[in-house]
Structure 1
């Protein structure tokens, strides 16, 4: 009886990993920019893509893991303390005040309360730490996370290679937190503290005299 030869499990796993790596890059660097959405549309689109991606590739973010909350809250508190210290030091405060305003055309509460936690943190942590990291491993996931930022860097006029390097390094840290806790919650909380603090602190610096 003739039939097609059985597929090699290793080949199937490699193909799945390659597809899991390619899909976010195509989405964020090719498809999403061509949609020409405003920030609210991009947030909704990223949330939908991340949720569908996690379903297709059997993501397990384990948002409710206690270890993820403990370590994540500690890491986030350390970051926020660092921002607070920067505001208290006049040279650092002046440097923050000179930071270009990158507000995306919505109010600060909407940016920090909706678009950063949903369009950025939920979407990226579900894709990368909650789904891709267990499939492809932390180094490749971190590099993919860096490459994910090519289109945003171009849109903002930022240098591409330094942006990739910095976000890849951040991906390694986020991946280490996921491995330690078995949850995407720890890197998500750290990620949120970094991004939200980066949005709020320069405005606070500009509002303070001296």
Structure 2
């Protein structure tokens, strides 16, 4: 439905948050955002993600990869994209829906297959964004399904949607910053 509305980026961010809040409200979301355990697991996971980006940027062959990726900052500045749209319009909204609401419901209803069902749903959620970005749909669904498995594991391990939200934020923000960092490093090295 959202793509059919053809909203600008700020409108999509608002729509995502409104949808997530409504979804969590209707289905009894249990994100436990202020969990100390969630913060510990999330900060640790985010640190690993940023370390991975740092290693990739320090290796010339890997540093070229983000240089080949078109910087996707639609309709806004990089700062606004990283400070507002990624953390609020994407991460907060998706983690409220998937790890804060859907995963606990699936755990209650499906038991041991719930992690896989939630991860597949998360992967399928990314079909339209992949199409809109011109990304390969199958690769995007596979990658986001794997991410969904990891995010779900973090939520189950920490008891909070905060842990996967912080890791999700690190992945997405790091992905937006990696091409900028790679260009900066390339400009300073012979």
Q: Does 1:123 align with 2:93?
A: yes
Q: 2: CA distance between counterparts of 1:128 and 1:151?
A: 17
Partner of 2:10: 40
Q: By how many angstroms is 1:201 displaced?
A: 1.2
Partner of 2:122: 145
Unaligned runs of 5+ residues in structure 1 are 1-30
CA shift digits 1:65-98 (9 cap, x unpaired): 1110001100001111111122222222222222
Secondary structure in 1 aligned to 2:99? helix
Count of paired positions:
180
Q: Does 1:62 align with 2:5?
A: no
Q: 2: CA distance between counterparts of 1:95 and 1:180?
A: 33
Q: 2: CA distance between counterparts of 1:83 and 1:153?
A: 22
Q: CA RMSD in A?
A: 1.0
Superposition misfits of 4+ residues, deviation over 6 angstroms: none
CA shift digits 1:73-132 (9 cap, x unpaired): 000011111111222222222222222221212111100000000000000000000000
Q: 2: CA distance between counterparts of 1:145 and 1:95?
A: 26
Q: Which has the larger radius of gyration?
A: 1
Unaligned runs of 5+ residues in structure 2 are 107-113
Give me the TM-score of the superposition, normalised by structure 2: 0.92
Secondary structure in 2 aligned to 1:207? helix
Q: Does 1:170 align with 2:147?
A: yes
